[in-house]
Every structure is written in structure tokens, then in C-alpha cells.
């Protein structure tokens, strides 16, 4: 088995609007428009594809918006396993000016029926046998049973496939209880899901539920990884500014890369943090320059060696 299978439960067509300055309640002229396939899992897939790691995407897609996402991914050389649904795939709009934090407006997505979810699970099972890692990333559509995330993880386990999961809320608890190999939410999501008020307590709770490794993104404070054997932190790359949307997805891609290489995940946090920083330099989520990531990785390793 080789390659990464990435499940995005609630994909989106991402529209990016660049304006001179974001202002609420004011008519603004859009200077540039970008359109791309999105959703956290799709962003992870695009980063891994840039890094030369074989990846296949699987997601529910419906209507003209779903068709545009499928076509765009195939045009980028990313294989797509589409599960047709009756509803229309959602859109998101991100407004950015290069000054303030971008404003993102995300549609909730379509309600997916029980038979449609069952069809996706059957598709997933047929594909797992030929892949080594399953990534589940992003929000769930409205009215979705969050226990389904655990079901997908257990399907992967029956095939000996590693699981890397970046979800939130009750779905994160379901993933931990299913003993996911890696959980990669941000710190705020982990604390909210576990009902704790401290980062270490949130990670400890997820490990106690069954997760094997927890890696929490802490923004400007960097990454912190946890296993039953111990913890390890790496700082954020200093002096980086730009578009933080998608930085966490690049971190997830870095963890997947390490897992695929058989590397120790806690010892690979610098590489994941470097990818996250490189993604911040891009105005578009899911894109980065590998040369920037290599430069930041070397910087973080140098900083670690000087301690």
C-alpha cells in the first residue's frame, strides 16, 4: 500500500476577494478574484501534491459547484473519488486586504442523506486497501451524525491504514474514542471539544479517550505534540505575516508526510511548523513554495540546536 487518501466531508468552492481595506457596511471594489477547490481536506491534498506525495481525494459532491470542484482538482493532477449527492456543494468567500486578518464567510453545506453517507462509506472501503494513510479533515455538513468519523477510522483500521484527523467538536471526541493515530486540531478546538481551559489538559483528555498522538497548533506559540510517552514543543517561525487561512492544513500535511516516511512524529514537528509558516506567505489556502518550507525548517532546527 502507498499513497494518501483524503476524505473531506464538507468540501467547498472557495472564492477569494482581494480588496483595498476590509470595512463592514461599506461598498468595496474587489481588486482580484480567485476561485479554487477548498475545504480543509482539499487544502491538505493540494499541499501534499505540491510536495510530490501521491494523494487521492474522496468527498461528497453535488450540483454545478460540485462539478467545478471535481474538474478543478483533476486539472491540478489530483485524483478524485466523488460520491454524488442530491444537494448542492457549498461555497465560501474569503475577503482579504493584506492588512487585517481575512474575513471568511462559509456556507453550512448540504444535508446529506443516510443512503448517501452509506454510499460514501462503501466507496471509502474500496479505496482503503490501496492506501497507507487516511486523512479526515474539515467540518461536517449540517445534521451529520458525528459518530460517523469514528466509523471511518475503524474502517481504516480494518485495512491496516493509519489515520490523521483534523475535525472539531463532538467529531473530535469520536475520533479520539476510535483511537485515531494522529489528532491535529488547533488548541482552541481541542479545549472546546474536551470542555477544558488549558492546552495540556485538552491534549491529556484526548489521549485518555484513546488517541495515540495529539498535535495542537497554537498560532504564534507554535506546535505542541503529545503521546503517552511524553510531549514536545516547537516554536512558530518568527517574523512571518500574511494569510493564516490554511496554515493548519499545511501543518496537517507535514504530519502526514512524516507518517508516510515512518518518522517519529514528535521529532518531525519542525517540518510541520515550517510548512505552516510557508503557507502563511501564500494569499491562497492550500498553496506554498517548498523552498520557503525548507528554509524555515532549517531555521527551526538551528534554533533547537542552539538551546
Please, what is the average pLDDT of the chain?
93
Q: Which residue has the higher pLDDT, 211 or 106?
A: 211
Cα dist. 232→162, 265, 275 in Å? Answer: 21, 10, 18
Are 124 and 152 in contact, with CB atoms under 8 Å apart? yes
- What's residue 285's pLDDT? 78
Sheet-wide strand order for 30-38: 30-38, 12-19, 90-96, 103-106
How many residues in the chain?
307
> What's the total number of domains in the chain?
1
pTM higher than the cut 0.85: yes
- Taking residues 131-151, what's their average pLDDT? 97
Q: What's the CA gap between 71 and 184, in Å, rounded? A: 29
Give 203: exposed, middle or buried? Use CB within 10 Å, 0-12, 13-18, 19+. buried
As a whole number, mean pLDDT of residues 215-231 equals 94
Q: Give the CA count within 13 Å in the CB-facing half-sphere of 301.
A: 11
To the nearest whole percent, how much of the chain has pLDDT over 70? 98
Asked if 249 and 286 touch (Cβ cutoff 8 Å), the reply is yes
**Given pLDDT bands bounded at 50, 70 and 90, which one contains residue 43?**
very high
DSSP bridge partners of 56:
5
DSSP code of residue 110: P
The answer to whether 16 touches 48, Cβ cutoff 8 Å, is no
3-state secondary structure of 77: coil
What domain range is 220 assigned to? 4-305
Please check the confidence at residue 230 and state whether its pLDDT lies above 70. yes
Residues 6+ apart with CB under 8 A from 203: 190, 214, 216, 224, 226, 231
**What residues have CB less than 8 Å from 261, skipping those under 6 apart?**
none
CATH number (domain holding residue 76): 3.40.1190.20
Residue 241 has pLDDT above 90, yes or no: no
Phi first, then psi, for residue 213 (nearest 5°) are: -140, 140
Among the ranges given (8-12, 25-29, 203-207), the one the predictor scored with the smallest mean pLDDT: 25-29
Cβ–Cβ under 8 Å, residues 41 and 136 = yes
Residue 44 has pLDDT above 70, yes or no: yes
Give kind and range of the element (H or E) at residue 56.
strand 55-61
What residues contact residue 184 under an 8 Å CB cut-off, 6+ apart? 164, 165, 166, 214, 215, 216, 217, 248, 251, 252, 255
Segment 46-100, tens digit of pLDDT: 999 999 999 999 999 999 999 999 999 999 999 999 999 999 999 999 888 878 8
Amino acid at each position: 500500500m502507498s499513497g494518501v487518501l483524503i476524505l473531506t466531508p464538507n468540501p467547498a468552492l472557495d472564492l477569494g476577494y482581494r480588496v483595498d481595506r476590509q470595512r463592514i457596511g461599506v461598498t468595496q471594489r474587489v481588486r482580484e478574484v480567485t476561485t479554487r477547490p477548498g475545504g480543509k481536506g482539499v487544502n491538505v491534498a493540494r499541499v501534499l501534491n505540491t510536495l510530490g506525495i501521491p494523494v487521492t481525494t474522496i468527498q461528497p459532491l453535488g450540483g454545478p459547484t460540485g462539478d467545478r470542484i471535481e474538474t478543478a482538482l483533476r486539472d491540478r493532477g489530483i485524483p478524485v473519488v466523488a460520491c454524488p449527492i442530491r444537494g448542492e456543494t457549498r461555497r465560501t468567500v474569503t475577503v482579504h486586504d493584506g492588512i487585517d486578518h481575512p474575513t471568511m464567510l462559509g456556507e453550512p453545506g448540504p444535508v446529506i442523506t443516510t443512503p448517501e453517507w452509506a454510499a460514501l462509506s462503501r466507496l471509502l472501503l474500496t479505496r482503503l486497501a490501496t492506501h497507507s494513510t487516511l486523512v479526515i479533515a474539515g467540518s461536517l455538513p449540517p445534521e451529520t451524525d458525528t459518530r460517523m468519523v469514528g466509523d471511518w477510522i475503524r474502517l481504516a483500521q480494518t485495512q491496516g491504514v493509519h489515520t490523521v484527523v483534523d475535525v472539531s467538536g463532538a467529531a473530535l471526541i469520536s475520533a479520539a474514542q476510535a483511537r485515531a493515530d494522529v489528532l491535529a486540531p488547533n488548541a482552541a478546538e481541542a479545549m472546546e471539544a474536551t470542555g477544558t481551559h488549558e492546552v495540556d489538559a485538552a491534549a491529556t483528555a484526548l489521549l485518555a479517550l484513546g488517541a495515540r498522538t495529539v498535535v495542537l497548533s497554537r498560532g504564534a506559540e507554535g506546535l505542541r505534540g503529545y503521546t503517552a510517552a511524553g510531549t514536545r514543543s516547537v516554536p512558530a517561525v518568527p517574523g512571518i505575516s500574511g494569510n493564516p487561512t490554511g496554515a493548519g492544513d499545511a501543518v496537517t500535511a507535514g504530519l502526514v508526510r512524516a507518517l508516510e516516511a515512518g518518522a517519529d512524529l514528535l521529532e518531525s514537528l519542525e517540518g510541520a511548523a515550517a510548512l505552516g509558516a510557508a503557507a502563511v506567505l501564500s494569499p491562497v489556502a492550500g498553496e506554498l513554495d517548498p523552498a520557503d518550507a525548507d528554509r524555515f525548517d532549517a531555521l527551526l532546527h538551528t534554533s533547537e540546536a542552539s538551546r
